[in-house]
Amino acid sequence: MPGMVSTTQPTQQSFNPYTENGGTILAIAGADFSVIAGDTRQSEGYSIQTRYAPKVFRLTDKAVLAVNGFAADGNMFVKKVRQRLEWYRHAHAKDMPIRAIARLIQTMLYARRFFPYYVYNILGGIEEDGAFVSHLTYAIQSADWPPLTYRLTHAILLLSTSVNWFKQVTKVALLLIPLGTGAVYSFDPVGSYEREACRAAGAAQSLVQPFLDNQIYFKNQTPAPGTSFPKHLPLSTVLPLVIDSFTSATERHIEVGDGLEIYVVLAKGSTSLQGLQSIRGIQELTATSEGERVFIIRRDLKKD
């Protein structure tokens, strides 16, 4: 009626286009390899939508991308990244290096910062970041000697020595071969990223990351007198750490479980290959044994 004051409070209507689909991903960089892993459970709340939803995707022979968060956004983002990499491959007749892929992902995420992809990305693979081995072939001619040919392999730092050393050198041929190193890049949903030795993301991040900090970064540990911690752990040590991380996370978190997919990216000429060949159920994804190689290892996790 006229003159009456309404006592009802205004009601706000809202729409949330995102949801959290659980799961966990992690990546660890080694001296000449990277390991990227993720579980396969996709859930919402207390409901398991599917027991096989991969979260780790091979991009190139040098790069693997793990995505976690809103599953629909993650699948679409991987599709768009692969499309951009295919354009690059057609334009340049080679694969994009992992450092450039990290910058590409950063720009793609930041371009959507006002309506972002609700995904946390971890990029792992092999980085050609300045380490080289040179194969140096030269011939020395002298009045006293017949022409001799020497072949040397040494660090490129030796090439910075004075060229006067080669006074009698008549032919010099250099072949510079890049040495790949493991690299891991972690991203937030709007594109901030950094290169790290290890990173975990997802539902069980708070359980897995402290474990990695202790085992990979050696946090809260004191080395034995006269010793120091290694800069990189061998692959034979990293793989059990990854499996143990997901096994323990599955025991403590309902959104992690069902299956585990571990991708291993090896640099060209990696010494870690020998230990891989004896692992049960390993499968190689690369078509050739030359250059970088990608393997996948699958394990079962608890399904309850």
Give the active site residues.
Answer: 24
Between CA 154 and CA 177 the distance in angstroms is 11
41, 51 Cβ separation under 8 angstroms:
yes
Between CA 104 and CA 85 the distance in angstroms is 9
Between CA 22 and CA 194 the distance in angstroms is 23
Q: Can you give the length of the chain in residues? A: 304
Handedness of CA 48, 255, 297, 105 (dihedral sign): positive
Please report which helix (H) or strand (E) contains residue 178, including its range: strand 169-178
**Token pair of 221 as six digits:** 């540990």
Give me the residues paired with residue 133 across strands: 155, 177
**Token pair of 205 as six digits:** 């991040």
103, 168 Cβ separation under 8 angstroms:
no
Between CA 169 and CA 85 the distance in angstroms is 45
Please report which helix (H) or strand (E) contains residue 65, including its range: strand 63-69
Residue 22 CB neighbour total at 10 angstroms: 25
Residue 42 CB neighbour total at 10 angstroms: 21
Report strand pairing: 24-29 vs 33-39: antiparallel
